[in-house]
Every structure is written in C-alpha cells, then in structure tokens.
Chains A and B, each alone.
Chain A
Amino acid sequence: MQSGELILTEQSGLPEHQLSAQVQIAKTDKRALNILLKNYMPFIKKSVAKIFSQSSVKADNLTDAMLAFVHSVNTYNKENGAFIQYAATVIRNRLLDNARREAAQKRFFSFFANNITVETFDREDDENNLRLEINSINGEFFQWGFSWQKLLKNCPKQKRSRDICLSIAETVLESPELLTSMLEKRQLPISRLAEVFPKKTLEKYRQYIVALIILSQGDYPYINAFVPHFFYEGDL
C-alpha cells in the first residue's frame, strides 16, 4: 500500500498539518490530487457561491474554480500560510479576473463577432496538463474500442438524456461491484442496470456512459473540471 493511500481519506476539513501533507503528496500524485479535488468540492462550490448568485453562470464558474483549486495545489508552499485560505484567494482572484475580462468584452457591440473565444490568459499550465491528460484518456478510449470521434456521434443531444446517462454513470461509480465488473469485462453491465434504467437508453448511449465513468474514476483532475458528474445544478 502506498503512503499516499494511508494518509488520504474521503473526509474534508482535516487539521491544517494533515491537509498540508496531503497537498504536498498531491503535487506529484495525480490520484491524490483527484481525491483532494473530490473531497474539497463543497469548499469549491461555496467559494463560487460567495461571488456569483446567478445559477445560469455557475457551471462555467465552477469549472474555473476547480482549475484554480488544482492550480493552488501545484503552487502552494507553507510560506503562503494555511492552504485553505490560499486556495480560497486563488479561486476568488481567478473568478473575479474572468468576470472582469468577460465584462470588458461585452462592452463592445459583439453581435457580429465570433461566438467562440479562446481562454489563453495565464492558462498555459492548465492547458499543458489538460493536454497530457487527454493523451492518456485517448489511450484508455482506444482500449475500450472507441474515440472522441465516436463519442461525438454517440453523445446525447438533449440535456435530459445526458442527465439520465449521468445518473447511470454515478450509479456504477458508487457501486464497487458494478465498477469492478465493468472494468474486468470491459463492457457496461447493461442487464443489471436495466433493472433501474431504460434499456433503450443504456444501449443507445453505451459508449458515452462508459466515457463518463472512465473520465470520473481515472486520475484526471484537470479534465474533471469539465465532467458534470462532479456537481449538480441543484447544489449551486
């Protein structure tokens, strides 16, 4: 058993010295970073809720906040003080900075401007880490027999369908038996899930559901900022 696994728990709100130790481990261990991110999701959501009140913008802000949290783990050292205060400051600064830049863009008449903007300011580290994770994910997808191109066709177009797929993925992730069975047999346990969920949905969006599970249970803390299973809209 690795030392990282002995220390890390599923609980947040640890004493500061334990948290600092976890942060130091998470700097080099992606799995540890992922667990830290998952444990401190309530803290991240609270940081977003302190600044923004409109539910329509919270999904985008939560993505930024999660990336800022990961960034704070990578840049934290004990001279910065307590990790929680440091992370809260980094998250707050990132969110306010983004809001100011978006407000500045909206000042100009942008009806005819391109509706796709590239986030480049101060994001080189995040993009490098995302690129590394995506390369690793591509390898996992290949082993499962699909790719991003296939996911593009298989992804549900309706939000309602995507929410059902999300529920299915969460059911598998929360059941060690189902998850283990799926990883060993390299296929979704449709017959067992069909007892609870519509079989038609399970068969139609099989690849998309598997992709959600792979992204969520793997060591991809940066990509997890773009996976909706980490947050529910109702919690925001």
Chain B
Amino acid sequence: MKGVITEINDSKSIVLFNDGKVGSIPTPKNARVGTMIKVSKSSGRIFVFAALIVALVVAFFIGRSIYNAPQGFLNISSENIEIEFTYNSFERIISARPLTQEAADFLAENSLQHEDIDNVFSPFFNTENNIFVNIADDNLERAQEIENNLSKLPAKRTPQFKIFTVELYRKNMKAERMGNFAPRHKNRHGRFRHPPF
C-alpha cells in the first residue's frame, strides 16, 4: 500500500494512503512532507513467525516431558545382574539403574536407553542363566500386555524365564498378588528382588 507523507510531528508522520485511509507511521529517516512511502504487511508475518517458534518450543518441551514421564518399572534379574528399568507410555526404556556391580558393568557395555522393552532382553537370552522379570505398572492392563509380549520372546538356552507382573499404586507403592507370581523380598540393597529358586 502506497502513501504520501502530509505532515510530520516529532517522531510520527501523517500519511495519506492510496486506499483513502489517513494514518500515522513512525517517521522514516530523511523523510519530508511529500515523501512517498510504501507499507508492506511484513509486521504481521513477524508475529506469525514468532508465534510459530513459541509453539514449536512449547510442543518440544511438552513432547519431551510426555516421553520422559515414567509409566512403569521393569526389574530384570539374571545371575548377579539386577537392573531396574523405567519405561514410558511408549514402552521405551528411559532410564536404567544398576542394582549390583555386575549390572553396572553390564550397562556400561550395553546401552539400552530408548530401546523398546522387547529389545532389552536380547543380551540376556544368550546366557544359560535364569531370567526373572518383575513388571510394576499403575495400569494393570498395560503390564499384562507387556507380559504377554515378553512371553512370546524366544528364550534361547534359557532354562527358566519367569515374568511377574504387579499393579503399582503410585500413592502407597503396594503390590498385589496376581496370578502365579511369587511374593517379593528385599535384597541386601533394600530393593525388591525375585525369590530364590
């Protein structure tokens, strides 16, 4: 939209635009009465662009917090390795806490973060040790679904592969007996572990 400056008052100038509007603009540099100007609509674009950036940043942080929100715990115990995995709503590992020194060495060699729950067991299947799994989730249906999926995994050369699922109550952290799982006992670290076989 084009216009001509008709009056200059300090920092503002009055402009007659060619659509009949009489408006005011910040006085351009070296402008005088009679100077012709053109006003584009780029200022609107700036706000749209800024709003888009803000929306992307907010979406990133929201997505990140959703991804990193813990939904349940997967405790794997095999020989001297005992690890507590935390997984999210997408059934991906978001953290792994070694409960023994051997577990710490194991995690140093095998990075399992962001892996799917099914893929977590691969390093354990190539051993001849028993594997015990505790699943604790506040959504029992999801925990049982995970259990079903894990049961279908091939257990190569593993004599015993047992899965125990519990429904986790976030408020008081109590576990209930469901199906054929064994009662939980605390190990020397004060953590729940599988019963001795």
Interface residues, chain A, CB within 8 Å of chain B? 59-60, 62-64, 110-113, 115-120, 123, 126-132, 134-135, 137, 147-149, 151-152, 155, 157, 159, 162, 165-166, 208, 212, 223, 225-228
Contacts and interface: CB of A to CB of B under 8 A. Distances in A.
Contact of A127 (B28, B29, B35): B35
- Is the contact region of chain A dominated by helix, strand, or loop, or is it mixed? helix
Nearest to A228: B20
Q: How large is the interface on B (under 10, 10 to 19, 20 to 34, 35 or more residues)?
A: 35 or more
A151 B39 contact: no
B56 to A, nearest CB: 16
Given A115-B42, A134-B34, A148 B26 contact: no
Contacts of A120: 35
A69 to B, nearest CB: 15
A111 B45 contact: yes
A212 B19 CA distance: 12
Interface in B9-43: 9, 14, 16-26, 28-43
Nearest to B7: A148
Given A116-B37, A134-B6, A159 B23 contact: no
B108 interface: no
Nearest to B50: A111
Contacts of B2: 59-60, 63-64, 119, 226
A162 B19 contact: yes
Nearest to B43: A115
Q: Which 5 pairs from chain A and chain B are nearest by CB?
A: A131-B34, A130-B34, A155-B22, A119-B36, A115-B42
Contacts of A149: 7, 9, 14
A152 B34 contact: no
Given A110-B42, A112-B46, A127-B32, A119 B37 contact: yes
A125 to B, nearest CB: 11
Nearest to B46: A111
B60 interface: no
B18 A223 contact: no
B3 interface: yes
A148 B3 contact: no
Contacts of B46: 111-112
Contacts of A223: 4, 16
Nearest to A158: B21
Contacts of A118: 28-31, 35-37
Contact of B20 (A131, A147, A152, A162): A162
